Amino acid sequence: MDTAPLTEGPIRVPAAVKGSLSRRMILIAAVWIVVLLSGGGFALDRVLTQAVTRNFDDQLEYVLRSLLNSSEIGPEGEVIFSRDAAADQRFVEPYSGLYWQVSGKGREDFPSRSLWDRKLAFGGPHDDRNAHFYDSTQFPDEKLRIVERDAVIPGSKVHWRFQVAQSRDGLDAQITTLRRTLVRSFALLALGLIVMAALQTFYGLWPLRRVREEIARMRAGQSNRVSSAMPVEVAPMVEELNALIEHNERQAEEARRHAGNLAHALKTPLTVIMNAATAQSDDLADTVIREARTMRRQVDHHLARARAVGRRGSAHSRADVWPSLESVERAVGRLYRHVRIDVTGPRGLQVHVERQDLDEMLGNLIENAAKYGGGSVFVTVGAQSGFVEFLVEDDGVGIPEEERVRIFDRGVRLDTGKPGTGLGLAIVRDVAEIYEGTVALEESEDLGGLLVRLRLPAAN
């Protein structure tokens, strides 16, 4: 049975998820709001409760002062009041919740009629003449708020204690109502602030959703950049994202161009081999070896460039200049023993280039100088404006100024009498540009031959 081949789309790997920014921001805001409102509500409750209690106490103290100011000693040593200081009707109604009492040591207590068959207990000894307020539970069915003060009434040597008490029911009811209002108000305020924080979070993170939509459009092929205007906080991320996309596109374009260049470079040697094999040429073996060597050089060149492109984005790419120069000097010196190579410059310089790429660039330049020069090669290295500059000079015939641009093309050789593939300078230019460096050809003022100026980004 025939079955149609299944076509699969690109596999989407889910991103690792760790919590939610929105939930985290709302939770932090909610906790902070609850903490602040709880602290503020507690402080406000203390202040308002004290204010209500103080107002309640002021009323009791007013009655107490009225009793003190109108108190006198009667004919039989009893306490009487010169005017109706306790005119409140509640003082004569039994268990009304408002009471007074005057007590003296060794004397009979003088209570208000509202106490009926009960008496107020002393709150403790006092050595001053100030009013003292306290709560009392001496009556099982009634909590009291009591103010008391000791005084000496003219005509009596007894220290009398004046007490005014009132039930706390009204005070507690006011405090309960106040607290209920505070709790409801602060709860409503907290809810409103949390809702506001949630709306602010969703609105503040909305540009990130727009970035996601733009990326989805790019993945669908509808655009190639994030072009929408973004807030100032998100704009740097978008710029870096666009830069990353451009970098990847540039690498992909370079890879396509390398593949095309390599195919073009291999086409001619393969054609030569095919023609020689078809014609059954006598020098077929030599032709195959020669063209295979050319193809290998082309492949090595493009592989070196591809490796450099892959390592370009590494922040850890760095190489010491001087060890690379010494290594190249020894290698070239063994190939061209008649050539004198002099190297000068600081020994502590580093470049943002992989060591093998630095060796390849310096090797090509110094080998060309030794090959085409008259026997002297002078290499100067130095730091300049964030770059490390290499000057490679020789005492050869140099290169005419009108040929200095064309010589960088792959396969171009001005001196065909010496072996080579014409790829040296092309490799140096391509690899230097990958690392954002430059290479230029000039005339050497000291040796009279060619001067190659190579600039690479400094790492120190």
- Taking only the tens place, the pLDDT of each residue in 382-399 is 998 889 999 999 988 888
pLDDT in tens, 430-446: 888 888 899 989 888 88
Question: Global pTM?
Answer: 0.51
Q: How far apart are CA 390 and CA 370, in angstroms?
A: 16
User: What confidence score (pLDDT) does residue 249 get?
Assistant: 80
pLDDT in tens, 274-324: 888 888 777 788 888 887 877 777 777 667 666 666 555 444 578 999 999
What does the pLDDT read at residue 345? Answer: 92
Helix (H, G, I), strand (E, B) or coil at 452: strand
Residues in the chain: 460
Does residue 267 register a pLDDT over 60? yes
Provide φ and ψ at 455, rounded to 5°: -120, 125
102 phi and psi, to 5 degrees? -120, 125
Helix (H) / strand (E) containing 198? helix 169-204
What is the largest distance, in Å, between two alpha-carbon atoms of the chain? 161
Distance CA 255, CA 296 (A): 19
Question: Which residues are within 8 A (CB) of 362 and not within 5 positions of it... i.e. 6 or more apart?
Answer: 324, 325, 328, 390, 392, 454
Query: What confidence tier does 175 reach under pLDDT thresholds 50, 70, 90?
Result: very high
pLDDT score for 23 = 85
Q: Is the pLDDT of residue 11 over 70?
A: no
- Percent of the chain past pLDDT 90, that is, above it, reads 32
CA 168/CA 96 separation, integer angstroms: 12
Which pLDDT score, from 0 to 100, does residue 55 have?
95
Distance CA 6, CA 17 (A): 31
What token pair was written down for 116? 């009926």
In order of start, what are the domains of the chain with their CATH numbers?
18-204 (no CATH), 235-300 (no CATH), 316-457 (3.30.565.10)
Q: Which of 220, 152, 185, 173 is nearest to 56 (CA)?
A: 173
